[in-house]
Structure 1
Amino acid sequence: MHQDSILLATFVVALVAAFLGGIIARMVRLPPVVGDLLGGLAVGPFTPGL
């Protein structure tokens, strides 16, 4: 059961990062997909610390 909550938390963090990246991209007048990609890079497996 503990592994399920870790997986759920990972999904939630990824979705929040994509959402915030999309909002930031819209604020600087870029397509939201750019923010989604940057959010994915921020929480990706090769990013140290998360």
Structure 2
Amino acid sequence: MEEEDDVLSDLSYVAENFDDVAKETIVLVLEAAIAEIIGLRIALQTAASKATWATD
């Protein structure tokens, strides 16, 4: 019963603060996407650097 109350409380919070929750979610998704892009860029630069060393 307590878990149900917690879930209802969380849902109530989301409903009352939907705009803020949506904005926070979008920010978190964008931050994760940016981090992924940066990670891929670093990986590509590292691979390119190793390839350059291998051909020298």
2:7: which partner in 1?
none
Mark the runs of 5 or more structure 2 residues left unpaired by the alignment. 1-17, 48-56
Root-mean-square deviation (CA, aligned residues, Å) is: 1.4
TM-score by length of 1: 0.57
TM-score by length of 2: 0.51
Mark the runs of 5 or more structure 1 residues left unpaired by the alignment. 31-50
SS of match in other structure, 2:32: helix
Q: What percentage of aligned pairs have identical amino acids?
A: 10
What are the equivalent positions in structure 2 for 1:10-25 lying under 5 Å apart? 10-25=27-42
Corresponding pairs, count = 30
TM superposition outliers: structure 1 runs of 4+ over 6 Å: none
